[in-house]
Structure 1
Amino acid sequence: MSSSQPEARSRLNVLSCNILAGGSIKRYREYVTHSWKHVLPTGKRANLDGLAGILPEFDLVALQEADAGSLRSGFLNQTEYLAENAGFPFWTHQPNRKVAKVSASSNGLLSRLKPTEVLDYPLPGRIRGRGVLWVRFGSGQHSLVVLVAHLSLGTQARAHQLGYITELLEGHPHALLLGDLNTSIESPELRNLFARTSLQLPETAPLTFPSWAPARAIDHILATSTLKIETLRTLPHLVSDHLPIAATVELPISLDAQAHAADAHPSEKIASA
């Protein structure tokens, strides 16, 4: 291939979703009138089954506010459950905030590609319980790094957390940042992230919150300059108070080939280092 020819590329279908531990909110007043549902498993498995029905079209699914097994989920690991029911061969999760036996929030990743490395990083903040899940596919300079994060509500804490994520991205030119970042694409803290990394400002920022009347774009799929987001869209409200956000990501074929190199096994948990 001559240097004037475009590089061969491949595609990944990617989804990111804050699943609210399988709960579903359809209007603001339900935060109060249905508050009991936040601590009991009522209806949550059926909601997850509905979500699992749309996941097979995706290669990577990033989850935020998945329950790792507590009272509110019926002691069900929701990341594992979705992996098994949607036919994903690999899954991993990062439990972040446990409140007695009532809740166990976590980030999660479902994958059709076998990760070569999984790391858990707690994020800085005055209140503990936020983290970023760091996953590598392939090896060396052609590896793809995927970060799954759920950031704080406070501006100052969020800025510190994005500064930390900036450090995690260093030396990784092919990367995706997926998650509920709790801030708009125009915010100073995200503008600073774009200035300090090769993550690119997306052409569009679909509105994701609240799910019943979307008015804010706070869930994001961000890619470095070597990758290309071909489509970026939201999916219908099935679960949570956020809309899922989906993208088709174009990437150098060398990344994709390495990531697919290993044999898959049914719903295999990939543990963090």
Structure 2
Amino acid sequence: MIGLAHRTPEGAYTALDPVIEREPPRQLRVMSYNIQSGLETRRYHHYVTRGWQHFWPSSSREGNLDRMGHMLHQYDLVGLQEVDAGSFRTGYVNQVEYLARRGTFPYWYYQTNRNLGRLAQHSNGLLTRYRPASIDEHALPGRVPGRGALHLRFGGAGEALNVIIVHLALSRRARATQLAYLADLINEHRHVIVMGDFNCHSRSPEFTTLVDRTELLEPVHDLHTFPSWKPQRNIDHILLSSSLEVGHVRVLDYPLSDHLPITMDISLPEGIELVG
């Protein structure tokens, strides 16, 4: 494995008593969402006028997270970016756990990629209704540290479902290096879902290179997620290996962050058994 840190199933925190499925699901409802640490942004000037909320607690954060949690309840597996794992600016609330409880997800996990101590805990997060068999954390390459990928395996070793949650760099050069790293990781596995904030559109050269170097299906183009109040850029993506089947895919009109969430219904092949 390429993973820099490995966690056993016991490393996945349990928020609620899990519900055991009688039959393995043949379809998953999946979402990727950059939540901007729970801040609601409706205009570009809010980055300035509300910029203090990135560093200081705000009473509006909790209500916005409640609205997010209500929406997330409909999904089986959610990948989160720009989530805070508990610091001064969030009132020391771990937002992954908070959303897991609001959305009634039995399992949650976070990967802190930029640890600013009590000031901020910049993280990726996972909410899932099924228990991961293993979890690996990857520090993505780049001149500026702080970008990561969270790799989860569900089911047995032979027919495992691998889910990779990412948040890539703003620099094209750094993204190209990070996507090359991800291509090597993806090529180690047969059934793969890759999702997150790629910070590049689906027709960009670096994105095209990722698809060409792997067995990933061609992405669904022109699903614009940013900015949430007037979407013009498709920088949030859900990608599948050719062994999986794309169902309904759409961007939800829930402008609770500066990104909109992207969702996909995914049909699973026979042999993959998720554990409740």
Tell whether the structures are fold-level matches, with TM greater than 0.5. Answer: yes
1:22 equivalent in alignment to 2:38: yes
CA distance in 2, matches of 1:102, 1:140: 40
| SS, match of residue 37 in structure 1 | helix
Equivalent in the alignment of 1:33: 49
Q: Give the one of 222, 236, 242 matched to 1:219.
A: 236
For the structure 1 residues 241 and 68, does the alpha-carbon distance in structure 2 shift closer, same or farther, using more than 3 Å as the test? same
For the structure 1 residues 19 and 166, does the alpha-carbon distance in structure 2 shift closer, same or farther, using more than 3 Å as the test? same
Equivalent in the alignment of 1:71: 88
Equivalent in the alignment of 2:196: 179
| SS, match of residue 57 in structure 1 | coil
Query: Is the contact made by 1:95 and 1:104 (CA closer than 8 Å) also made in structure 2?
Result: yes
| SS, match of residue 202 in structure 1 | coil
CA shift, 1:201, in A, is 1.2
How many pairs were matched up? 252
Q: Give the one of 181, 187, 193 matched to 1:170.
A: 187
Equivalent in the alignment of 1:229: 246
**After alignment, is 201-210 or 63-72 more displaced?**
201-210
1:120 equivalent in alignment to 2:134: no
CA distance in 2, matches of 1:108, 1:56: 15
Query: Is the contact made by 1:204 and 1:232 (CA closer than 8 Å) also made in structure 2?
Result: no
1:85 equivalent in alignment to 2:118: no
CA RMSD of aligned residues (A): 1.4
Instruction: Give 5+ residue unaligned stretches, structure 1.
Output: 1-7, 263-273
Query: Is the contact made by 2:42 and 2:255 (CA closer than 8 Å) also made in structure 1?
Result: no
Post-superposition Cα deviations, 1:9-28, rounded to whole Å, max 9, x if no partner, equal 81100010000010111000
Equivalent in the alignment of 1:155: 172
Equivalent in the alignment of 1:259: 274
Query: Is the contact made by 1:50 and 1:238 (CA closer than 8 Å) also made in structure 2?
Result: no
CA shift, 1:178, in A, is 0.7
TM-score computed with the length of structure 1 as normaliser: 0.89
CA distance in 2, matches of 1:180, 1:47: 20
| SS, match of residue 271 in structure 2 | helix
Equivalent in the alignment of 1:105: 122
Query: Is the contact made by 1:20 and 1:64 (CA closer than 8 Å) also made in structure 2?
Result: yes
CA distance in 1, matches of 2:256, 2:145: 26
Query: Is the contact made by 2:202 and 2:221 (CA closer than 8 Å) also made in structure 1?
Result: no
Equivalent in the alignment of 2:13: none
Percent identical: 43
TM-score computed with the length of structure 2 as normaliser: 0.88
CA distance in 1, matches of 2:51, 2:66: 22
Query: Is the contact made by 2:225 and 2:234 (CA closer than 8 Å) also made in structure 1?
Result: yes
CA shift, 1:238, in A, is 4.0
What is the one-letter code of the residue matched to 1:182? N
What is the one-letter code of the residue matched to 1:35? G
**After alignment, is 124-133 or 246-255 more displaced?**
246-255
Instruction: Give 5+ residue unaligned stretches, structure 2.
Output: 1-23
What is the one-letter code of the residue matched to 1:40? W
CA distance in 2, matches of 1:9, 1:133: 23
CA distance in 1, matches of 2:256, 2:220: 27
CA distance in 2, matches of 1:9, 1:65: 29
1:137 equivalent in alignment to 2:182: no
